[in-house]
Amino acid sequence: MEFYGLIGEKLGHSLSEPIHRMFFELMGIQGAYKLVEVPKDQLPGLGAAMRLIGIRGMNVTIPYKQAIMDQLDRVDEMARRVGAVNTVLLREGELTGYNTDVYGLRALMDRHKMPVQGATAAILGTGGVSKAALEVLLSGGAQTIYYVSRDKAGKRAPDPRVICADYRDLAELSGDILINCTPVGMYPKAGVSPVGREIIARFDHLVDTIYNPMETEFLRMGREMGKNTCNGLYMLVAQAMAAQAIWQGEPVPEAVTERIYHRLKDDMEPARRVFIIGMMGCGKTTLGKALAERMNLDFVDMDDEIERMSGHSIPDLFAQGEAVFREWESKVCEGLSLRKNLVVATGGGAPLYERNLRAMKANGGLVLYNDRPVERIARDIDMSGRPMLAGGMDRLYELAKERAPRYARAADLTVLNDAGPEEALEKMVAALKGAWKA
């Protein structure tokens, strides 16, 4: 059995192990692939360790794609041009470095019919993946490439077609292809974009090298504008298969790449998961149950789940201190974010905490604001058993004034619930069908 692996500083969210395991299964190869986290102070001895152990091949990820090059006997010409190595082969005691990110990104862009020849393109970021993007565009015949960093001072263009720029320059730029090679928008800090709508609007094709979430805020805005968009999942699989071709000494059938990609895509496709937020007493639970039944989804009341997991009632948790309750609330929220096909009725304070909001929106989760006027809540609400309303009706109005703007900012969708529950339910169903294109 041959041994392979991935080295990097932090690898908790890597998909490399399942990708290569599927490859071995599909090809009938006896092989093992492991993730190896290497602290920076141990990197200098890595090359010697590979030779000693006899590991046939290693992938390399951030922050070691450039640092590893000094420990290799040879560096492939493409990897040298890119200035980064992400694949290492051990053969007859010699370590050779390659860059398969270039192959992966080229395969992704070809798959989504992104015209590189003669194009004007912009690359966001200047790390290892951005260098691969630069190689793809240059070798593909792009006419003009804007290489965008936070500060262009002192940056040197590697080719006459390349123009070093910063984010201030983007306000004046337009073109064909915009590639995000930064980590902005990646889980768990999803929901943000490296650039705004006004910049996205001036490009026809958007590539995000991020694959978790499958649709970043950057891509979501582009899709809504009718742009041709793609995430980095196919690039990840294609570059892994290019690494295996190097290690095995023969090309990987395209059908194998496709099967692995579709398996991962099915697993990672944004699940139908919606978190209903709003003031206590606005009807989140009642409407949530009806919505789940209507959309054929499971229903969870977050407060019930907190009580189940903690073994304490909500009032008992508050009696231990609000911080104790909020910690349980966050744990439950993060657990629910991993489940699929779900409607969750949240507590009134849950979406006010960034940790919870990140979990709700992870991998395609939607936050739906049930906006019921406080006067109607005051007419209907039973305040018993609600620790946050110990101050009576005045406290309800005070909370509504404070929270309503924050709910609105947190929401992906808002439904005005100012009539009966039947009308509110129809509005929710219509909003979700539009968002999910059901």
> Residue 375 has what DSSP assignment?
H
Query: CB within 8 A of 61, min separation 6: which ones?
Result: 6, 7, 8, 11, 14, 86
**Contact yes or no for 154/91 (Cβ under 8 A):** no
Displacement of CA 86 from its chain's centroid (Å): 21
* 65 flagged as catalytic: yes
CB pairs under 8 A, 24+ apart, for 165-174?
A: 165/122, 167/195, 170/122, 170/146, 170/195, 170/199, 171/198, 171/199, 173/122, 173/146, 173/199, 173/202, 174/120, 174/202, 174/203
> Residue 100 has what DSSP assignment?
-
> Residue 209 has what DSSP assignment?
-
Choosing from 34, 40, 65, 437, which is the catalytic residue? 65
Omega before 18 within 30 of 0, i.e. cis: no
> Residue 251 has what DSSP assignment?
P
* Terminal-to-terminal C-alpha distance of the chain: 47
**Contact yes or no for 314/320 (Cβ under 8 A):** no
Query: CB within 8 A of 318, min separation 6: which ones?
Result: 324, 325, 387
List, by residue number, the catalytic residues: 65
